[in-house]
Structure 1
Amino acid sequence: MFELYPRNCAAALDPKLFRHPTAEYRGAPFWCWNTKLDKAQLLRQLDYLQEMGMGGPTIHVRTGLETEYLGDEFMHIVRACADYAKRRKMLTWLYDEDRWPSGFAGGLVTRDERHRARHLLWTRRPYGSGAVHAINTSQALGSRNENGSLLAVFEVELDETGCLRQYRRLATPPPQPTPNTWYAYLETA
């Protein structure tokens, strides 16, 4: 069984280990890959990390990566860096999200719309009633994109403080919405 910190089970702290920690007890900073990957340059950077006392890198792909994420060249370079670090008694970690958000693998997962995030758009404006402004951001914002489906329409009455007084679900959208007509759409990010 692989144990990352085997010396944690020791009865007492080893002063020698404390003064000269092995790779697993040293820093492993994010190593941002954000351009066309150059194996020779990356191997030199590993030498620099070791000179600085790091226990190894955490490979972290960032915006700007020109080498295909998870492609053959990318994986070859990951393996070369991991092997090179191992020969120098360093550990290599792979932050495998390709930027953000978690789990989309640089678009490989979300290429299939079934695997994309969804959000509820709760609005007084029905689809087709005005301009849609696309938001291109790396933040987790739900934005109106009018690519969804109507789930339900409601008549909603709020009190003077903006709190819900009452509501009722409508069977169909009214031909002329009122200020109290609200639409619930399921949209895909």
Structure 2
Amino acid sequence: MSLLEETKKQFADPSPAYRPQPFWFLNHDYKREELEWQLEEMRKQGVGGVVLHSRHGKSAEYMSREYLDMLAFCVDACKKRDMVVWLYDEDNWPSGTFGGKLTRRHPEYRMRYLRLEERRLAGGAETARLDFGQNARLELNHFQHVTIDKYVITRVDKERLLRRGGDRTIGFDSRVGIIGCGSIGSQIASALSEVGMHKLLLIDNDKLTFENIARHICGASDVGKNKVEAVSEQIASRFPHSQNTVYHGDVLTLLRDYESLLNNCDFTVVAVGNMNAEFRLNNLQRQGIIDKPILYVWVEPYLAGAHAVFVDPANTGCLQCLFNEDHTFKQTVLDNPGQYAIRESGCQSAYVPYSILEVKRFINDLMFLVQDILAGSVKENVLFTWFGNLTMHRASGRQISPQWEHEGDYGIKRDPISSFTGCEVCIAQ
């Protein structure tokens, strides 16, 4: 057969070397019937060979006898079909050059430089026209006006989104409860999602109103929805892999029926602004019914200050240790904050004069405490105190508590609860 005839033959029926040779990912059970069926289907579609490539999910240990038998079976099955086989193991499973023995025994496998040469060839005396037959011409006529659309597959799993979007993520597999999904609770839920927490238990009994949306993560289009559902949907719109659970109901009712529910979470954030609920949770922790940590969060009027109390039942001190007998908080930033407003935690009306920027600044600083909690570096129960723009509050005539009179703007303090006079229960233990 002349070179010209051979060339024409290769166009009409390419040899395996000139056909597609895709990577064949071996990432499941090695069932010989399945392997042979896949090879046969690829051959029928014009595939000339395969690259045998081990991936995560394979049933046999890499380089085990079962694994090597599988490779031998695939090589033999390809040989029967006149298909080319490539053995590839330099990605996830590097055996390399087998300590140099492979290239010593087989010099032909050694790495070589690729030399690129450009040559101009003059046309020969003999020419030929390639005729692909009537069917090919009919297909060209049929498809000449068909639009080819390009589709791109983009990974949106949590590992890609978060590790590509930042240099540090926390708590991929942790589950966090959030009690209270108002302005503070919703912002905390959003911030936790942004740092990799995509298993949230959201608890709240309110619906979203127009008065809520000034500092809430949800907007006017969500008004009328249950807050837990609106927050969950908002998070899922940004992170489609989130796995949030919602409960629309009163937390005290929930605790009455399922006292130990929060033990299903690694820790829980409480942002309800409801002292009865907070002290009920604190008592359940002291009784050992809730054995997981809780972070109690609230803000003071005008966001002159904000507080977070981390209580792990395994450590010394509880929430009650920071309150006087009349249930007033010992460490307020504002002197007598009750004269301005009730303690606010997430459902205040829009006319209360502090901005969303202040809220976000507090939540951002709070996330570093949460990061330390999840990393296991917080070894004792602590009070986290955040100071707002104290210069502005002093200029506005608001009195700062004497203990903080020398504190500057936007400072942070972490104090162990054990440094305060304990409550009666903790002292008796």
TM-score of the superposed pair, with normalisation by structure 2: 0.21
More strand by share: 1
The structure that has the greater radius of gyration is: 2
Q: TM-score, normalised by structure 1?
A: 0.46
